[in-house]
Amino acid sequence: MLVQLTYASRTATILGPGDVKDILRSSARNNTAVGVTGALCLANGIFLQQLEGDRQAVNTVYHRILKDPRHKEPAILDLSEIVVRQFGSWSMGLIAATQENRQLFLKYSSTSEFDPYKMSPSTLRAFFSEVIQSARWLS
């Protein structure tokens, strides 16, 4: 069964581009091995990640991520069954906080700052769908 899990968390310390690269490197290695795909945003000190794949594989990856000391206050924002993957070719794509992407973040935020904790499941799904089409992907 194919599922999509979306969660948010806050950075535990100040993370630089090298830290994010490390996370993406581990993600590419581990997610590819278990058929998990997805995307990760970091903006405003908040991670927003969507993981998709086999339900058990997504659960396993999510529970490993939860143990990571680089973030805190994780919250599942959406968990849905899906028919097809959105991120079929991305073991983990990075949605960077570029100016262009910031505008996209704000388009879907009810507040002036990007705050996925306040976004509804349907808004999150719409956000990721648009991201796939228009955001600048870095990795």
State the residues that interact with ligand FAD by CB under 6 A: 9, 19, 22-23, 26-27, 29-31, 40, 47, 49, 51, 61, 64-65, 68-71, 92
Which of residues 93 and 125 has its CB atom nearest to ligand FAD in the complex? Answer: 93
Summarize the chain as % helix, strand, coil (round to 5).
Answer: 40, 30, 30
Q: Tell me the C-alpha distance between 58 and 72, whole Å.
A: 19
Instruction: Tell me how far, at minimum, the Cβ of 84 lies from ligand FAD, in Å.
Output: 19
Q: How many CB atoms lie within 10 A of CB 34?
A: 14
Cα R_g (the chain), whole angstroms: 14
Nearest partner of 137 among 84, 109, 97, 103, judged by Cα? 97
- The nearer residue to ligand FAD, 68 or 115, going by C-beta atoms, is 68
Q: Which residue lies nearer to ligand FAD by CB, 87 or 135?
A: 87
- For residue 23, the minimal CB distance to ligand FAD (Å) is 5
- Residue 99 CB, shortest distance to ligand FAD, in Å, is 22
